[in-house]
Structure 1
């Protein structure tokens, strides 16, 4: 009887998106990195907050607006304290919001580098002959699904495509051509490894 090893991968971008800004020092469009520092400006009861970015070439600054002309009393005290103390987790949350950054800066440079945390949900890899992956994404990434699977499972993209062509690899909900698309939160990938000589190695790689 066939059995399935079910694994959850939590994928996080390793490098924060970088806005492409027309640097007035360099005289050209340059990528800016997040400094993980906030600038908080109080004018009476009104608060303005920016996340500071720096040009990779000359260190010129650019401010990403977080709060604008907000009444101090409308901001949770804990949130305001985190902003004033440059809380790293809060800075990271804003820095990895590619959609908000793109809305403000226009163009954004995203890195395909990610970290993957793996959690075995059920099924013994040493006894299974199928793999069911549940993908969770912490932030957006341009990394294609075939590159993610290939790198983590030790499979070539041509072999992944062959499995897909033979309907031994399925992706929901994207379906057709999903391998060539960027990884999305909530994807479910199933690979039937029945009869594959390296079945155990693949299942082991999926969990570690």
Structure 2
């Protein structure tokens, strides 16, 4: 009788998202990353605040607007202090929120923390894989599976079409969607000769 191996992957953000935008110095669209530093400008009772970014290629600076003409009285004392001292956590929170903030499309680097919950690799033919995304990393499911299994995204799609990789409702469109907070996937392992390849990726942490 074949056994089931229960695995858990946690999607972890490697760095804050890059924002792709035109770089005046490079002359092309390039990725910009947050420096974690703020620029503040107080004008009477109003505040302008920017998060400073730099081009990954040439280092050119770009100030991304966080607040524009915001009433100082509407901000908590804690937030004001955090902005003034370039609080790392607050800067990361703003940097991770790229939706509707201008500057173009963001991209996210991530890693996977793998944990064997129950079962034995030796004779398992089925893997019950739970993927957790508590940090709400903006990354597609097919990209996570490709990275986790050491395969191309086309190969992942082929596994789904062959029935070797199954998930809720078996809707192939879910591969192109962002990873939810939690999703359970079933992976059927092939012949013994193929298993060692999968085990190296399933179990080993990035």
TM-score, with normalisation over the residues of structure 1? Answer: 0.73
Aligned ranges 1:57-206 → 2 under 5 Å: 58-101=58-101, 104-105=102-103, 107-108=104-105, 110=107, 113-126=109-122, 128-137=124-133, 138=135, 139-141=137-139, 145=142, 147-155=143-151, 160-172=156-168, 175-176=171-172, 178-179=174-175, 181=176, 183-185=178-180, 186-193=182-189, 196-199=192-195, 202-203=198-199, 205-206=201-202
Gapped regions of structure 1 (runs ≥ 5): none
| Equivalent position of 1:18 in the other structure | 19
From the superposition, tell whether residues 54 and 198 of structure 1 become closer, same or farther in structure 2 (CA, over 3 Å).
same
Q: Tell whether the 8 Å contact from 1:19 to 1:33 is kept in structure 2 after alignment.
A: no
State the aligned residue count: 200
Distance 1:13 1:2 in 2: 35
How far is the alpha carbon of 1:3 from its aligned partner?
A: 3.8
Q: Tell whether the 8 Å contact from 1:132 to 1:190 is kept in structure 2 after alignment.
A: yes
How far is the alpha carbon of 1:66 from its aligned partner?
A: 1.4
Kindly provide the CA deviation profile for residues 15-57 of structure 1, in whole angstroms up to 9, marking residues without a partner as x.
522230352x555544433222111222333222110122345
Distance 1:76 1:165 in 2: 52
From the superposition, tell whether residues 205 and 62 of structure 1 become closer, same or farther in structure 2 (CA, over 3 Å).
closer
* Superposed CA RMSD: 3.3
Distance 1:121 1:76 in 2: 43
Gapped regions of structure 2 (runs ≥ 5): none
From the superposition, tell whether residues 189 and 42 of structure 1 become closer, same or farther in structure 2 (CA, over 3 Å).
same
Q: Tell whether the 8 Å contact from 1:36 to 1:88 is kept in structure 2 after alignment.
A: yes
TM-score, with normalisation over the residues of structure 2? Answer: 0.74
Distance 1:58 1:65 in 2: 21
From the superposition, tell whether residues 169 and 64 of structure 1 become closer, same or farther in structure 2 (CA, over 3 Å).
same
How far is the alpha carbon of 1:191 from its aligned partner?
A: 0.5
